Amino acid sequence: MKKTMLAISILGTVLSSQAIAVDFNGYVRAGLGASKDGGGLQSGDEFNKTKVGRLGNEYDTYSEIGLGQELFNSDGRSMYFESMFEMSSDGNLESESTSKKSANFGIKQLNIQAKGYIASSPEAVIWAGKRHYQRHDLHIIDSKYWNISGYGVGVENIKLDTGAISAAVIRSDNELWDNGTSLVT
């Protein structure tokens, strides 16, 4: 009986106090497809990953885990920390570990966003770090037709008389570019 009362007291205390919650979002994809020989798929066997119908027929595993937290919020000013990590692997049935080079880990996003620091536009957000920025996609085929994400700094949502304006400087690391000036053919 004492343990039950203690558990109820602890639960009541936790539920009545303000909890510090971490924002979570994510995406996971793991292939289930099999080859015509009865084994697992190999690279090149699956449907094109940018076509409808490929979900479940990949040979690999991919995930993105996003975690964010408001760090500060007072007097109309706030700061928010955003992160996203990815894991991709070759779909090895035994082990998807970094020791066998079958799994790769990376940082997709890592940035700070400050809001309420521009007096004339309190809804404006100043940000710095690595960020998904202006990513527009066709969700069903995972195809991004506009994506200028990367490391940078910017300000968003500065209100004008009609509308709003945003500006950012983002470093380009795209492997298709030679010295950042022309396309490599």
pLDDT digits (tens, 9 = 90+) for 68-90: 999 999 999 999 999 999 988 76
The model's pLDDT over 133-142, given as tens digits with 9 standing for 90+, comes to: 888 877 666 6
Longest Cα pair distance anywhere in the chain, in angstroms? 75
Whole-number Å distance between alpha carbons of 112 and 71: 9
Domains, the chain, in order of start with CATH, read: 21-183 (2.40.170.10)
How far CA 84 is from CA of 25, 49, 73, 76, 164, in Å, comes to 9, 22, 22, 26, 28
Task: Give this prediction's pTM.
Answer: 0.70
Closest CA to 123 of 82, 162, 152, 166: 166
Interior/surface letters 6-15, b for 16+ CB within 10 angstroms, e for the rest? eeeeeeeeee
